[in-house]
Amino acid sequence: MHPWWYRSEFDLSENEAAQYASLDFDGINYRADIWLNGRKIAGEETVFGAFRRFSFEVSDVIKPGRNVLAVKVFPPLPGDFSIGYVDWNPAPPDGNMGIFRPVALRLHSGVSIENPFVQSKVNLETLNEATLTVSAELANATDQPVEGVLQGKIEAVEFEQAVTLAPHSRQRVVFAPANHSCLNIKAPRLWWPIHLGEPDLYDLDLQFKIGETISDVAQTRFGIREVGDYWLNEIHRGYKVNGRKVMIKGAGWTDDLFLMDTDEGIEAQVKYAKHMNLNCIRLEGFWGKDHTLYDLCDEHGILLMVGWSCHWEHELHLGVPVDERFGGVYTPGHIEHISRAWEDQVVWLRNHPSIFVWTVASDKVPIAALEQKYIDTFAEYDPTRPYLNSTGGVGSEQHVIGSEDVISDISGSSGVKMLGPYAYTAPIYWFTDNQLGGAYGFNTETGPGAQVPPLDSLKKMIPVDQLWPMGEAWDYHCGKHEFADLSRFKAAMNARYGEPSGLEEFDLKAQAMNYELMRPMFEAFRVNKKRATGVVQWMLNAAWPKMYWQLYDYYLMPNGAFYGARKACRPLNLVYHYGDNQVYFVNDHLHAVENLQARIRIYDIQSNLLFEELKTVDAAPDSAASILKLPELENLTMAYFLDLRLMDAEGGEVGTNFYWLSTQEETLDYEADLGEFAYHTPSKTYAD
């Protein structure tokens, strides 16, 4: 593949050209030669790596009038640690080569302010006090020593510190609460994820003054909050925000296949996540064309898991042999490169309160030398968050978790699991499975498989003459390998709903299945709060028009699973337990609820009322408890309905949950031979 050229012209006034300047690149994939006004300022021997950030001093290169920037970008080669897609869409034909994040010319008067950072510590007992530690790096671009004052402001709080900088030096300046009592904050507005409080934000404004001259200014937004992890039953990892446990209800993000996301599209998707009552988005990869995604998650109270993709961990995707245990990063040179890329990303993103954990590996674990560099980076640049050595793991209800493949030499077990399923999964599985992906521990990626788009989207994806019957055109938009068609989805549909006679009937039944299969996954984890800490649906969105793993499609059209997730994740919810035939009340709020009413009704297939009971419901904070064991009714039809309605003390409706069920039990086949990759647990018999 040939290199690509980028060229941009910009004008500078006499005053602007007389200032000091740096040229900053936040993301180039993969190598580049860079020229400014005909002078080569950097080459591909030093400018390489999709997740490196580069800054070049160009004070003596810029000029008044027209300036010309030219960048020659070279594509990633096999073995390069590039932007990673795996089995959820085809590889981009161009390997996503190019400039994919902002380029900026920064002007200042000799001393620049770089990498501002705010660390917050919260009084976790009272939540009524917090301390802030503010830092920034000052860089003196002149050949003279400089004396000045770094001044900071956070709303009404102001602070400053005198600084002396040697020529061409860099110095980190720290404002600590021990020396600046104003950084001891009373009654702080804390940042909370959705349903637990408001995602309040603050602005930090900094300026460096040399005498009466302002040399540079900087601003960053942050939230006052404290995040941490904990161990449930000494074996399963969970997470806390401001000292309160948070059940993670998330889904996995991907950027557009050609990195063409818009601000408007990203905003719509974050609002979708909030509308679905999800509190987390997992980024398998440092996604984002800029800070837009992260800013929006800050604003809407959506937590973010951020870290590397498994793209680099498998030869199939990286294009070169990998270490079976550690993936593709294991040589000294690669370790140095990736550790520096990690440092760049952490410094770039660390002020976002939505990021609650760094994930330094996906399916595998980092080799010890690399993990130690990560640990050193956290100590130096971000001691405010936990890190996860791998989102992979294996587990069982018998408290066995980990294997030699996902145990770190430094930090031990990940405490999470990645055991699927990824294909059709019966609702009962999530409530009863205690060996694989069921509702215990933290399942970092999983889901019931295909989520077929609604009819209008199918008509955009597939030529009209190939829409029905289903064939190769449909398979083209499926996944890879085990996920290359919809055979499991169709078999379940035919058995559970009856074989469709045409496209419209197929899609109607597909949307019903999407809803029915997604809802119990989230509900099971919520019901099992005493042994579950979180679940991430694989996936949230779509990088291209596809059939698998999405709550809404490439055209941003929700499918039935979108509404199944929304229903399942309501903070106050009545839930049917497919395993024990009981109705549970779940409260995700941090406060107790009292004097609610639960109306439980059962109807036969003709909508004849067979059973009704009204229960008074009280619930402790962050709790789940059974409120009724459903009776055995002799006159049930094979298909029947369960209607759950939650009301306040005055009879006003708080929420509903409606199930279609079957007297024919769906049984799971744990003995099925699925080869090395047990990507789902098939059904021996289907519900009807």
**Confidence bin at 399 (pLDDT 50/70/90):** low
| Lookup result for tokens 């200014």 | 217
The encoded tokens of residue 558 equal 């929700």
Q: Examine the domain organization and report whether 73 and 174 are in the same domain.
A: no
| Lookup result for tokens 């709550």 | 551
The pTM for the full model equals 0.97
Q: What pLDDT score was predicted for residue 481? A: 87
Find the CATH number of the domain harbouring 329. Answer: 3.20.20.80
| CA neighbours closer than 13 Å in the CB half-sphere of residue 231 | 8
Q: Are strands 639-647 and 593-603 parallel, antiparallel or unpaired?
A: antiparallel
Q: What pLDDT score was predicted for residue 660? A: 99
Residue 268, SS3? helix
| CA neighbours closer than 13 Å in the CB half-sphere of residue 343 | 16
Which among 171, 193, 222 is the end of a domain? 222
For residue 153, list its beta bridge partners. 158, 205
User: Mean pLDDT in the chain?
Assistant: 97
Q: Is the pLDDT assigned to residue 676 strictly greater than 80?
A: no
Task: Give pLDDT tens digits for 177-216.
Answer: 999 999 999 999 999 999 999 999 999 999 999 999 999 9
> Contact at 8 Å (CB) between 309 and 284?
yes
- Summarize the confidence of residues 454-471 as an average pLDDT: 98
| Residue percentage of the chain with pLDDT more than 70 | 98
In 477-630, DSSP assigns E strands to: 532-537, 572-577, 582-587, 593-603, 609-619, 623-629
Q: Examine the domain organization and report whether 325 and 395 are in the same domain.
A: yes
CA distance 624 to 566: 18
Q: Examine the domain organization and report whether 247 and 214 are in the same domain.
A: no
Residue 495, SS3? helix
Task: Give pLDDT tens digits for 293-330.
Answer: 999 999 999 999 999 999 999 999 999 999 999 999 99
CA distance 421 to 442: 13
CA distance 88 to 547: 10
Inside any domain, residue 171: yes
Q: What pLDDT score was predicted for residue 621? A: 98
State which H helix or E strand residue 111 sits in: strand 111-122
Q: What pLDDT score was predicted for residue 397? A: 60
CA distance 445 to 464: 34
CA distance 331 to 370: 10
Catalytic residue among 298, 363, 382, 433: 363
Find the CATH number of the domain harbouring 79. Answer: 2.60.120.260
Q: What pLDDT score was predicted for residue 393? A: 82
CA distance 362 to 285: 9
Tell whether omega for the bond before 539 is within 30 degrees of 0, i.e. cis. Answer: yes
What type of residue is 317? H
CB atoms within 10 A of CB 198: 11
Find the CATH number of the domain harbouring 613. Answer: 2.60.40.10
CA distance 140 to 150: 13
Q: Examine the domain organization and report whether 85 and 170 are in the same domain.
A: no
Catalytic residue among 371, 445, 516, 523: 445
445 is catalytic: yes
Expressed as residue numbers, the domain containing 392 is 227-452+517-568
What type of residue is 410? I
Q: Examine the domain organization and report whether 408 and 314 are in the same domain.
A: yes
CA distance 604 to 297: 44
